[in-house]
């Protein structure tokens, strides 16, 4: 069978295809017409969705394609189920695109997997094994599982996950290309790995629960970013911490009114068991801070408030460190990924008050009330250094689409992996 080719043209499509047609077809494939579009990547994305709807097993990009044009095609063409293969245009971008695409496919497949097949332990194991396959003997890791989390003092991950028969897990992975066990840690990536989120006793509606297999999107995104950085040849010591749990209801589940005491002494009243992501991330951020790394990036599908603010087009960026925030935004801009800053001030740490603890994990109202994404970031700020130096929090509003759009397939997007990988390469304290 001959390859189905896809090429670009600056000319309008022929009259039979329609006045404003983006696509026309030839004997061997399709042509994407960019004549009337100032935003060529958006036009390519929309055309790629239409081609993806044909369930093509493979396509070959031919002719004159820029790198970002090929990437736009790949983001939109790669459907969740049985994605078609892509052969890149014959130019100097092939090797780089192959690296990025491998990380994209891994990240999307992990997020799109069923919650039955992806237990907390399985998530940690699959992430570790994939990074190990790339970094070989430069990668080592440990997992703390179930009751061992309680014994180690990781109360957030333990309590959120103890309602499930499948135990919670914390992955601590070390990519150390120096070979020196005493080498300083250059960066730590922390990911929220809630493999299914029922909301706990603050139970979600059926509709709200349907897509909650995606609540480990933060863990998948930072893992994909680290894997990409490794294939790009990064020569820095980087640690990966995944905070993995199922948030389910049972006689052993954590409850509203519980007070958790964290390793750093902070006490937290649980006023909403569906604000569980920040509870598990708190453990990961403390573990990251203990390394002394000058850069900590955490990523999480954390709040609906971030999606209300930004829709599903942008990831929200929070930091008390102006330099770190600007470097993260610049990395995203250079990688053509949409990140946008939202406010985080010292006072946000006090926006979830409690009469029974130092803080609550949310506010006892729908969605946590106004400014919920900033308040969640403020909660997390209690678990890094007091000034928040070198810490960047990403609320991944654009990580998953519950339905296909004109530009994106249903399911995981993997947006953010390129920007985070670049931040690992370029960050300067």
Q: Which residues are catalytic?
A: 204, 278
d(CA 47, CA 171): 40
d(CA 361, CA 381): 12
Of the candidates 225, 379, 368, 217, the one whose C-alpha atom is nearest the C-alpha of residue 295 is: 225
Dihedrals φ, ψ of 272, to 5°? Answer: -155, 110
C-alpha pair distances (Å), 3 with each of 7, 33, 45, 76, 306: 12, 20, 20, 19, 42
End-to-end Cα spacing for the chain: 54
Q: Residue 376 in contact with residue 302, Cβ under 8 Å?
A: yes
In degrees, rounded to 5, the angle at the alpha carbon of residue 417 between the alpha carbons of residues 78 and 59 is 25
The 3-state DSSP class for residue 121 equals helix
Structure tokens at 114: 């069923």
The 3-state DSSP class for residue 3 equals coil
Q: Is 143 exposed, middle or buried (0-12, 13-18, 19+ CB in 10 A)?
A: middle
């Amino acid at each position: 069978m001959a390859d189905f080719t896809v090429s670009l043209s600056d000319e309008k499509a022929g009259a039979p295809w329609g006045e404003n047609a983006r696509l026309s077809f030839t004997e061997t494939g399709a042509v994407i017409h960019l004549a009337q579009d100032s935003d060529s990547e958006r036009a390519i994305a929309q055309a790629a969705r239409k081609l993806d709807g044909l369930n093509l097993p493979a396509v070959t990009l031919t002719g004159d394609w820029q790198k970002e044009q090929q990437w736009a095609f790949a983001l939109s063409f790669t459907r969740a189920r049985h994605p078609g293969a892509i052969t890149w245009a014959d130019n100097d971008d092939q090797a780089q695109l192959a690296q990025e695409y491998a990380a994209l496919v891994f990240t999307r497949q992990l997020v799109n997997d069923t919650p039955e097949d992806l237990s907390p332990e399985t998530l940690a194991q699959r992430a570790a094994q994939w990074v190990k396959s790339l970094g070989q003997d430069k990668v080592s890791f440990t997992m703390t599982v179930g009751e061992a989390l309680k014994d180690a003092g990781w109360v957030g991950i333990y309590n959120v996950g103890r309602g499930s028969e499948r135990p919670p897990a914390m992955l601590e992975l070390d990519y150390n290309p120096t070979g020196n066990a005493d080498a300083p840690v250059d960066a730590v990536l922390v990911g929220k790995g809630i493999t299914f989120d029922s909301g706990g006793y603050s139970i979600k509606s059926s509709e709200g629960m349907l897509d909650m297999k995606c609540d480990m999107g933060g863990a998948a995104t930072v893992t994909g970013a680290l894997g990409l950085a490794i294939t790009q040849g990064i020569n820095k010591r980087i640690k990966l911490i995944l905070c993995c749990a199922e948030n389910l209801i049972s006689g052993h589940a954590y409850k509203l009114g519980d007070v958790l005491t964290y390793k750093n002494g902070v006490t937290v009243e649980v006023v909403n068991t569906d604000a569980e992501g920040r509870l598990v991330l708190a453990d990961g951020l403390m573990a990251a801070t203990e390394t002394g790394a000058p850069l900590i990036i955490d990523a999480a599908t954390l709040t609906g408030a971030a999606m209300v603010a930004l829709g599903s087009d942008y990831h929200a960026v929070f930091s008390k460190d102006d330099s770190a925030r600007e470097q993260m935004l610049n990395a995203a801009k250079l990688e053509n990924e949409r990140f946008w800053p939202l406010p985080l001030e010292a006072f946000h740490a006090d926006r979830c008050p409690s009469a029974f603890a130092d803080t609550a994990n949310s506010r006892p109202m729908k969605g946590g009330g106004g400014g919920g994404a900033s308040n969640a970031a403020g909660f997390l700020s209690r678990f890094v250094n007091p000034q928040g130096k070198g810490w960047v929090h990403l609320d991944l509003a654009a990580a998953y689409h519950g339905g296909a759009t004109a530009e994106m397939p249903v399911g995981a997007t993997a947006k953010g992996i390129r920007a985070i990988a670049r931040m690992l390469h370029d960050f300067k304290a």
